[in-house]
Chains A and B, each alone.
Chain A
């Protein structure tokens, strides 16, 4: 018992505060998004945040060694869930992403990202770097990445699939893989892209094409992005005020409590609001870098830390880029802010792991 109290005492409470603050921003925005409507979503969000927070603390008490030991097992479980969802998943919005678990919808692709990161970390930790010059050695990690990537892609969930690929590339990079490998992969992906493009659903193609010219078809697929830009732009410096956003509350902004929550934040809290959230995300990322960079001789810890925080950081910035029109709308929530349980719980678990990394770094 005392051991647990000591562990709790040693937790990085600044980090916990920052993460909680980001969740609080989410609560504030979800409240506004559902303002004047039924409060079911807001109440449900409170439960999820509370549960997520507790989960993070619990995970932070587990030693990192546990994840290292069971990495492949978790990966295997995740893979089974992904396969299950591919065939028997609950169909929503034209995609098979969810497992209905006693009335709770659960999205295995989210948690799979964590399992993928720890599996790759374990793999690269155990192999010698010298071996990495041997390209055959890379077949296994490439498979580890490719299988979930394809399974998620065919759901279809372009956003998460891309994120999986991106985080994996970063992990390969951090693991010291030669640049020639990336050049080769890049070349390969250019060759493969037309085939991938052919495999995309029409609506996904449309979304990507819309990025290049959103105003071309304002009432069609460009409508969302145009309205989102109007919402953010019209917020100006200080915003229109909490629950006062006209774009959001008069339903011009689509999916304002999920993917487009950042647009609503921009409308109601202005440039100061969006800047603060970016600042918060950068701060969380920076602290994590600080923690992980102390593990000079522990590849697993280092890779896990980088992997998790890269996932968080890029998920955040891709979501923002999406709603402000830098990237196509691929359907990614804003971590900890958007409504949606699976994604949030996954990020809380990830932050729990970072907290236990931090705890360990104190003993170095």
Chain B
């Protein structure tokens, strides 16, 4: 009996030993073999990550005045695990914190984001009152935290909108790591996004099982983006904005010495701060439907017939490449017959006998019609490319248009017709198929003024440019003609002569929007003022100054404002005076 019971007890011991080893084995598995797995799990339990978005680089003007900086934005965020509480919280907070429809929409979007962050932003742009209220009430909302972020702020609402562009959320990108990162959407913001962006950081919070934040564990600071200095001059830009109030069009000013774009203003403008804060769909649609298209950057993407300003290139081409005798006179009787068509001068009664210099000064169309008879369109087009017509200028902001510099090949390709000689007559005075941007016109002037292949730039500061390889004598001739335009009493822009010591040289242009019919000619051309607004001519003026040592090249385009001398030239005069006297 004693023996039997001993065996049984031994059996019991085995049982206990087995059980002990089972527990021991499982502990060994959990604590030794799977330590890293469970360690990670315990960390994901308690550590919550909040992405800190970097501060965008500041953009300065030429004189180090900030034109795009950042402001502190207080934001309310919810713990991602508790996102089902969002709407309950919003309901509770509503009386004290204003949730606009836009906020609610962005909450909806944010809830579906596959962001790295463990927090979801539910309200941006908290006001001081809202902040104060939340600080007071935060015990009732354990899963909400206030964070601050630097967000883009433009010093001026309207003045730099087209050139600077704006920032916004990247769209249609699935599984983006930083879904709340704002990137440049247009203008400099887009072009230099990678520099301005900076590098994101994070904050790790320790939270308890209910998601309440216990403490900040550690953080990696966000690296702010690089600051960028531009060639823009705030005051000129503001002046352009003032001058263009109520006028559609563009003002472009280039520094002739380094190609620096000092002014790039397109009118009407829009408020880029609204865009960067997130614009409502309603407002966005309103802007899209606006017949004056405020979102279009007319300076680089507005297409206009250069009109008479293009005569400068035609004239230069004739004397440089065709050994045209600039002293040769043509009679302007008000029109020129070519084939079975009549080509009219803007001055019905004609200019009488004029030479090339006078033809430029007075902007005689007939002279150029006669000159055009010996011009081959392909040669002219090739020469015009020296002044960037039909090509992009290479300015450092995106979405530039290259316009149209027509030639035979272009006609076949685009109109499926052969080039008509009569079309050359329209082209030499900058009408017909030809289309250019205000930037191209300004660049033409700058290149004529310097004889160098200036390249416009908003941010760089290059001094050396290629020569155009045009004889100095011919360039001087064109420049002196431009001088007469402004400074001779018979010049088309004499009323815009600069006051003071500086001399300006320029060229007016009137860009015809409609075709004037034969009957109308006979009945007398309808005055611009009597025409439907949309059919009125564009007023163009391009100029450079000072005459003896060109510093600025400037163009003004005023849509549907009639002749160049009336509106564009006086605006250009005032802007040029400011630029010359102050900078």
Task: Point out residues on A near B: beta carbons under 8 Å.
Answer: 129, 170, 173-174, 176, 227, 229-237, 246-247, 250-252, 266-267, 270-271, 274-275, 278, 282, 285, 289, 293, 296, 306, 310, 313-314, 317, 320-321, 324-326
Contact = CB atoms under 8 A, between A and B. Distances in A.
21 contacts: A129-B1, A173-B12, A174-B8, A174-B9, A229-B38, A232-B27, A232-B38, A233-B31, A234-B39, A235-B31, A236-B35, A246-B42, A247-B46, A250-B45, A252-B208, A266-B27, A271-B32, A274-B27, A289-B13, A324-B23, A326-B22
B152 to A, nearest CB: 37
B45 A230 contact: yes
Nearest to B31: A271
A174 B16 CA distance: 14
Contact of A234 (B5, B24, B41): B41
Interface string B1-45: 110110011001100100110111011101110110111011101
Contacts of A285: 16
Contact of A176 (B5, B20, B46, B206): B5
Given A176-B1, A176-B4, A270-B31, A247 B42 contact: yes
Interface in B94-138: none
Kindly list the 4 A-B residue pairs having the minimum CB-CB distance in the complex, ordered from nearest: A233-B38, A234-B42, A271-B31, A250-B208
A246 B210 contact: no
B214 interface: yes
A175 B207 CA distance: 55
A211 to B, nearest CB: 13
Given A129-B1, A247-B42, A266 B31 contact: yes
Name B's interface SS. helix
Interface of B: 1-2, 4-5, 8-9, 12-13, 16, 19-20, 22-24, 26-28, 30-32, 34-35, 37-39, 41-43, 45-46, 206-210, 214
B209 A252 contact: yes
Contacts of A282: 20
Given A285-B16, A324-B26, A232 B210 contact: no
A247 B40 CA distance: 12
Contacts of B5: 174, 176
Contacts of A306: 9, 12
A173 B210 CA distance: 49
Given A251-B210, A313-B16, A246 B46 contact: yes
A194 B20 CA distance: 30
Contacts of B20: 278, 282, 317
Contacts of B206: 246, 250
A320 B30 contact: no
A260 to B, nearest CB: 13
Contacts of B16: 285, 313
Contact of A250 (B1, B9, B28, B207): B207
A230 B31 contact: no
A290 to B, nearest CB: 12
Interface centre among B1, B27, B214 (most CB of A within 10 A): B27
Contact of A174 (B1, B12, B30, B214): B12
Nearest to B81: A219
Contacts of A174: 5, 8-9, 12
Contacts of B39: 233-234, 236
Contact of B30 (A229, A252, A275): A229
Contacts of B208: 250-252
A232 B30 CA distance: 7
Nearest to A297: B2
Contacts of B42: 230-231, 233-234, 246-247, 252, 267
Contacts of A289: 9, 13
B13 A250 contact: no
B37 A233 contact: yes
Contact of A293 (B9, B26, B35, B46): B9
Nearest to B47: A246
A233 B30 contact: yes
Contact of B23 (A250, A293, A321): A321
A173 B45 contact: no
B37 A317 contact: no
Contact of B27 (A230, A271, A314): A271
Contact of B8 (A129, A176, A237, A278): A176
Contacts of B13: 289
Given A233-B38, A266-B31, 17 more contacts: A174-B9, A227-B45, A232-B31, A234-B35, A234-B42, A236-B32, A236-B39, A247-B42, A266-B27, A274-B27, A274-B31, A275-B27, A278-B24, A278-B27, A306-B12, A313-B16, A321-B19
A23 B496 CA distance: 102
A327 B26 CA distance: 12
A170 B26 CA distance: 25
A322 to B, nearest CB: 10
Contacts of B210: 251
Contacts of B22: 321, 326
Contacts of A233: 30-31, 34-35, 37-39, 41-42
Contacts of A275: 24, 27
A127 to B, nearest CB: 14
Nearest to A292: B9
Contact of A252 (B27, B32, B37, B46): B46
Contacts of A229: 30, 38
Nearest to B19: A317
B405 to A, nearest CB: 69
Contact of A324 (B4, B27, B207): B27
A233 B8 CA distance: 36
A282 B16 CA distance: 9
A317 B4 CA distance: 27
B313 to A, nearest CB: 75
